[in-house]
Amino acid sequence: MRAYVKEFVTVQGRHFVKEVVSLVFFAHGRPKEKCQPRLTDGAAGRGNSPAQLSWERQKVNRGKEDMKKKQEYQGIIEKVVFPNKGIAVTADGERAVVKNTIPGQQVSFVVNKIRKGKNEGRLLEVLKKGKNELEKPACPHFGMCGGCIYQNLSYEHQLELKEGQMHELFAPVLAAEGKKFEDVYEGIKPSPISCGYRNKMEFTFGDSFKDGPLALGMHKRGSFYDIVNVENCKIVDADYRKILKTVREFFAEREIPFYHRLRHEGYLRHLLVRKAAKTGEILIDLVTTTQREGFDEEALLGEFADMLKAVPFCGKLAGILHTKNDSLADVVKNEGTKILFGEDFFYEELLGLKFKITPFSFFQTNSLGAEVLYETARDFIGDKAGKESRVFDLYSGTGTIAQIFAPAAGHVIGVEIVKEAVAAARENAGINGLHNCEFIAGDVLAVLDDIEGKPDFIVLDPPRDGIHPKALHKIIRYGVENMVYISCKPTSLVRDLEVLQAAGYEVKRMSGVDMFPFTGNIETVVQLYHQKSTEYFHVDYEPQNGDYLDKMPATATYREIKQWVYDNYNGMKVSSLYVAQIKQKYGIIERECYNKRKLENARVPQCPSDKRTAIEAALKHFKMI
């Protein structure tokens, strides 16, 4: 048996790992000292602890050499897993995730991460095109710009790729119901237009290389600092391209500095552009810091507005705004907005309804695609929500879905955590003359406890991370017969469906809607049905000596569950965290865990499949599920 041992060197008090590794040979059988390879210097640099250099991670895999970090490989992309994770397979059968690839490509890549036996690589070069790859990408900025990932595929093949990803994600979930994917899946609906579909873009000021000329566009792929000019972008229309070109030239001529994200110096930060697909109204918002040394800001902004008013747009200029933002984060944040021209809003239309949109309102970024999405959801509801019905629209945003369903329902209650979105929803309902809509500001988890009465139908449209587990259990307890779940991230939907299935819900219909051509994202609409028994029978039973109490299953403790797994699965050890995750999956977590991570975005380990199987077996043994 042999294993690789990394050698450490110390330079000026800092620990480094040598690229060259030395071989240590052991006799057959397990080496001594808990199978830990020896460190030549006894030192462990940051991120290279002895645990990370454990025997299991450094061993040679049955005579086949494992991939190594920083080493270059070649492979063929076998498939692309949602959203853009290409699976590269080398000639030796080794596998690595290489993003921004398409099936059939032969690529070279360098391994930059190895974790838990999984390899991740960074794409270096496409050596051979894939079978369905276009000879020339549709967009000249493709490859440099970090926006789109499928400009090298025809739209037809993009839909095929996304359909395959949906099948791979949902087929195992539906199999748990004894159904095939094809039994409920109704296909993927394309966007009405695949080019120029965006109604909102956030462009960034910067430079394409260090100390280069002013750039205005999108972040370069894989870069935090470099900006790519995208004046020929294909997912926006001609008006956006005119705005990009004229605004960049205007500030470049005047040598106005952009905000440097490392030094936190400069003036120009972002350019927010919105345009309605139906009304053609355009809203332009220049986002800057308050650092205005070396120029007259008021005069500059006046010239800026006059310049834009003189541009011959295809649409109608509704407003020009200036927003201040001194936040250190590289995001568009409103710390005060001033109107330079016109209004600070515009109107868009969806399915015959009118919606007032402000610079920072949430609204689907593909207006025509949104109509397809909401028509699909409305079709899934059908006549199940009648004129006397009570409908809950949870995670309602600006109330778009609630207002589309309101004419066919008795009363619609929308719940949304963002107060500004709730205010916009109320205003839009008034504009559309809908008086049976009620919008509540608050977290769904908390608000559901305060709403009186029970819904007849529930529409779910949560953010990308899906529904909070505790909120999902409250939703399940309503016991409604029909629900529609609209998801913008299929992997989150898969997780939530498992919980809903465990509670007795089954998938009746499913459809994909491609709202974002040339990207890896896709919307999924699912109709859920809960079978209620309509037949009952009466049984007379008289307990003898309290035997019904003796036969009631007791709830096992965490210690008992872990001990059972240890005894029945060859000494397997599972943590309380893993047990809690599986209990939560089946809805049997009854109180909040106070042993939380201190950091808000800390990574929480997820229970591996083998331990999940063992814990589920223990819960079944103790009759808890």
CB neighbourhood size of 500 (10 A): 23
DSSP string, 172-221: HHHHTTT--HHHHEEEEEPPS-SSS--SEEEEEEEESSTT--EEEEEEBT
What is the pLDDT, as a whole number, of residue 299?
96
Which H/E stretch holds residue 276? none
* Catalytic-residue membership of 145: no
CA angle (272 as vertex; 267, 278 as ends), nearest 5: 160
DSSP string, 76-111: EEEEEETTTEEEEE-TTS-EEEEES--TT-EEEEEE
Indicate if the pLDDT at residue 601 is higher than 80. Answer: no
Indicate if the pLDDT at residue 242 is higher than 70. Answer: yes
- If DSSP states are collapsed to H, E and C, what string results for 498-540? HHHHHCCEEEEEEEEECCCCCCCCCEEEEEEEECCCCCCCCCC
Q: 498: which strand partners? A: none
Indicate if the pLDDT at residue 606 is higher than 80. Answer: yes
Residue 29 is encoded by which pair of tokens?
A: 């059988």
Tell me how far apart the alpha carbons of residues 388 and 30 are, in angstroms, rounded to a whole number: 71
Domains and CATH numbers, the chain: 2-58 (no CATH), 72-128 (2.40.50.140), 181-191+362-530 (3.40.50.150), 200-350 (2.40.50.1070), 547-621 (no CATH)
Q: What is the pLDDT of residues 121-178, one digit of tens each?
A: 999 999 999 999 999 998 999 989 988 999 999 999 999 999 999 999 999 999 988 9
What is the pLDDT, as a whole number, of residue 16?
38
What is the pLDDT, as a whole number, of residue 103?
95
Indicate if the pLDDT at residue 98 is higher than 60. Answer: yes
What is the pLDDT, as a whole number, of residue 554?
52
Tell me how far apart the alpha carbons of residues 107 and 88 are, in angstroms, rounded to a whole number: 8
Contact assessment for residue 451 and residue 458, using Cβ atoms and an 8 Å cutoff: no
Contact assessment for residue 272 and residue 305, using Cβ atoms and an 8 Å cutoff: no
What is the pLDDT, as a whole number, of residue 25?
37
Q: Tell me what percent of the residues of the chain surpass a pLDDT of 70.
A: 83
Tell me how far apart the alpha carbons of residues 277 and 199 are, in angstroms, rounded to a whole number: 7
What is the pLDDT, as a whole number, of residue 11?
36
Peptide bond preceding 83 in cis form (omega within 30 of 0): yes
What is the pLDDT, as a whole number, of residue 571?
84
Tell me how far apart the alpha carbons of residues 194 and 39 are, in angstroms, rounded to a whole number: 56
What is the pLDDT, as a whole number, of residue 589?
61
Contact assessment for residue 79 and residue 164, using Cβ atoms and an 8 Å cutoff: yes
Tell me how far apart the alpha carbons of residues 440 and 447 are, in angstroms, rounded to a whole number: 8
Indicate if the pLDDT at residue 511 is higher than 80. Answer: yes
What is the pLDDT, as a whole number, of residue 18?
37
Q: What is the pLDDT of residues 13-54, one digit of tens each?
A: 334 333 333 333 333 333 333 333 333 333 333 343 333 333
What is the pLDDT, as a whole number, of residue 594?
44
Residue 567 is encoded by which pair of tokens?
A: 């005894």
Q: What is the pLDDT of residues 366-420, one digit of tens each?
A: 999 999 999 999 999 877 666 778 999 999 988 999 999 898 889 999 999 988 8
Tell me how far apart the alpha carbons of residues 363 and 281 are, in angstroms, rounded to a whole number: 15
Indicate if the pLDDT at residue 576 is higher than 70. Answer: yes
Residue 599 confidence class, pLDDT cut points 50, 70, 90: low
Residue 204 is encoded by which pair of tokens?
A: 């960034």
Which of the following is catalytic: 139, 148, 233, 488? 488
Indicate if the pLDDT at residue 257 is higher than 90. Answer: yes
Burial status of residue 368 (CB atoms within 10 A of its CB: 0-12, 13-18, 19 or more) = middle
